[in-house]
Amino acid sequence: MKPNKKYKYLIKLRNISILLVIVVVTITIIFNLMTTISPPNIDNMEVLDLEREIYDSNYFIVGNSWLRKNAFGLWEMYLEGNPFEIGVINGKLTKELIKQQEDSFVDQINTLVPSKGYLRFLKYFIAWFNRDMHKYVPPEYIEEIYGVSFSATDNYEYIGTKYERMLNYHGAHDIGHALQNLALVGCTSFGANLGFNDSSLIIGRNFDFYINDEFAENKIVAFIKPDSGHEFAYVTWASMIGVVSGINKKGLTVTINAAKSDMPTKAKMPISLLAREILQYAGNINEAIAIARKRETFVSESILVGSAEDNNAIIIEKSPGEFDTFYPKEDLLICSNHFQSDKFKNEPNNQEYIEQSASVYRQNRALELVSKHDTITYENAASILRDYNGIDDTSIGIGNEKAMAQFISHHSIIFQPLQHDFWVSTTDYQFGAFLNYNVDNVFSKTDLRGIGEVIYDSVRIINADSLTINNELASINKFRKLKKVLIDNLNNGTDIKNNDNLINEFISVNPDYYQGYVLAANYFYDIKDYDRALDYYKLSLSKEFENTTAADNVKYKITELESKVR
């Protein structure tokens, strides 16, 4: 190449490089401008100057608000003030718990997505996806979340600012739901004694939202006295101001169950914040419907609303573009993870989910259990929520998604709306004791900071199910521990020493659960022991599968292996 031509080539290359840098920088600036969420303007921020009083390691006070752990291991919290004040004080009281929750959440994300490159992509995808979320959330909840964010840890600034993280985490349930179609959530709720004239209306629900064991360790029963709307109580975790299960002082209850969704294009109002708005501002079913109808959400969800004023319960069914309600035809109502209303029940998405998932089976099992009683008491409700068998009381394996109790519940809760009572599970999923709280009694106390004062009713405790804890819970814990060993070996291509003993033990601790046989078959398939793989795949088909996709995969493997071993 002649010097002159070479010089011109280098000049051209330099100009192209400069142009590329300018384009990349411009795109980065535009991306940051479009995805950066500015915090709200707060006129009075004096609440930030309040100091937290530490009474002991499990008891904290800020002003008239407090947080303490009771003898059963449940955290109890009382908050009052305007939205920003409630948020700031919430954060100050739960600072250590917020860090623990975020640590466990991020740890699980890193476990599920070990690739740093994909994690980086996920970060930018979520930033873009959530870029307008704040525009769909009422300003008071934006202010409350902003208040909480002052107490968030500095450890995760690489994910986003404290405020952005706290806001985005409120959409985590919805985003996970959209991306995985509820792989981790299979909740069930029911209403019974509907319309009875003896004030026995009762609502029960299992909130089967599982991140990891650590995430569910610090459940909080929160009592909120806002400066507008109704006083209310809900079960939550640190930093979460949205509601998944709650009751207000009017005796209105709200629980949410996810349904099959299309992949949304951007985030809108997280469903838990819609449930919070209903709980805070609705006093009856019609008011709940009006609030739900006016808000835009980005995933499909069923909202079971119980109402003391109406002595009834309904299901509000909401998708990103449609809305309907499902009223009970008799004196009971069952809600799992599919839609039942006229508008939604025949939609392709819903029909596909009905055919493929555990939702209808679990709904039928709930109906079977509720129908065994003429009137459901709170003790009956607890036994229904704790049931781990299949239809006709068949054994379908401990932890099967088709059962009411899947041994993954973050919490289980029972409401009696007309009495303003609720019972919350403590430890061991729904098998530990349930504590009874009365909303009126708690909010009627003049000074809730009373040291050592018990706010639950010690007479109306539902005792722990010790038999299940000592047997089935011990078995599923051992099963999950051995399952992790087996999966780790499968992923690493490691041959298991004494594999026969390990696999026999793995299957024997949960012999009616199909997963044990499938994982054993997968192991033998990987080490090319096709005869034994085929045997275990065939054995698995004699068990109750949770969904048709898993069963179809096994049938495909059997067809493949039968051609190999001929």
pLDDT, block means (10 residues), the chain with 566 residues: 62 64 48 63 96 93 95 96 98 97 87 72 77 92 98 91 92 67 68 91 94 87 98 98 98 94 82 98 99 94 97 96 93 96 94 95 98 96 98 98 96 98 97 98 77 88 98 97 88 73 94 97 92 97 97 96 81
SS3 state of residue 549: helix
Instruction: Please tell me the predicted confidence (pLDDT) of residue 15.
Output: 64
Query: Which parts of 427-545 are beta strand (E)?
Result: 434-438, 457-462
Euclidean distance between CA atoms 167 and 160, whole angstroms: 10
Instruction: Please tell me the predicted confidence (pLDDT) of residue 184.
Output: 43
CB 385 within 8 A of CB 412: yes
Instruction: Please tell me the predicted confidence (pLDDT) of residue 18.
Output: 64
Find the helix or strand (DSSP H, E) in which 525 lies: helix 514-526
Euclidean distance between CA atoms 369 and 388, whole angstroms: 11
Whose tokens are 């698995």? That residue is 540
Find the helix or strand (DSSP H, E) in which 434 lies: strand 434-438
Euclidean distance between CA atoms 285 and 289, whole angstroms: 6
Where do the domains of the chain lie, and which CATH numbers do they carry? 48-448 (3.60.60.30), 471-565 (1.25.40.10)
Instruction: Please tell me the predicted confidence (pLDDT) of residue 199.
Output: 85
Instruction: Please tell me the predicted confidence (pLDDT) of residue 218.
Output: 94
Q: Which of 238, 233, 183 is nearest to 211 (CA)?
A: 183
Phi, psi (degrees; rounded to nearest 5) at 270? -60, 140
Euclidean distance between CA atoms 271 and 296, whole angstroms: 9
Secondary structure letter of residue 216 according to DSSP: G
Instruction: Please tell me the predicted confidence (pLDDT) of residue 498.
Output: 67
Instruction: Please tell me the predicted confidence (pLDDT) of residue 12.
Output: 66
Phi, psi (degrees; rounded to nearest 5) at 537? -60, -45
Whose tokens are 């319960």? That residue is 313
Euclidean distance between CA atoms 292 and 273, whole angstroms: 11
Checking DSSP bridges between strand 65-69 and strand 411-416, what pairing results, if any? unpaired
Whether the model pTM is above 0.85 = yes
SS3 state of residue 81: strand
Euclidean distance between CA atoms 158 and 124, whole angstroms: 11
